[in-house]
Amino acid sequence: MSSYNGPERRVMDAIRRREIEELEQLRDQVAAIVENQKRMIRRATADLSAPDPPSRQCSNCVHLFEEAVEIPNEDPDRLEPLSAHACRAFPGGIPAAIAEERHDHRRPLGGETDGLTFEPRNQRALRVVGEIDFGAAS
């Protein structure tokens, strides 16, 4: 076993420090990749059990909650597949009349929290909702 003295030792120490830095960077890169893979798996798994998308009216409203929520269907008027969607106006689940586009929620339905009604996300959303033929859905 050889021992290094003076300049040789400083060079070897510098090489070791650089190798340690490279290993730490590699560890951080691997950790970032693993976290990204976990996120992708969570998304893929969530997509498998995701409820039907909300109505055009709801999906264009600023009050819609982004995440679906677990809501028991105790109301016979509520549309089951869409009952997993909730919003600030109906935190307990969006009523079937709105979910099925039988009611234009630019007007109150009744039972809304704080009297909230449809509020467009943007100008395009206002046009989309304006084109819905409310009451045409069976």
Which of 108-128 are b and which e, b meaning 16 or more Cβ less than 10 Å from the residue's Cβ? Answer: ebeebeeebebebeeeebeeb
- Three-state DSSP at 90 gives coil
Does the structure show a pLDDT above 70 at 51?
no
The reported pLDDT for the residue numbered 50 is: 47
Residue 83 has pLDDT above 50, yes or no: no
Q: Which residue has the higher pLDDT, 84 or 87?
A: 87
Q: How confident is the model at residue 136 (pLDDT cuts 50, 70, 90)?
A: low
Over residues 105-128, the pLDDT tens digits come to: 999 999 898 999 999 999 988 888
Q: What is the mean pLDDT of residues 20-24?
A: 96
What's the average model confidence in pLDDT over 86-95? 86
Proportion of the chain above pLDDT 90, given as a percent: 34
Dihedral (Cα; 78, 82, 85, 87), 10-degree rounding: -50
**Using alpha carbons only, how large is the chain's radius of gyration in Å?**
28
Can you give the pTM of this predicted structure? Answer: 0.51
Of the pLDDT bands very low, low, confident and very high (cuts 50, 70, 90), residue 91 is: confident
Instruction: Give the pLDDT of residue 23.
Output: 96
How many Å apart are CA 39 and CA 22, to the nearest integer? 26
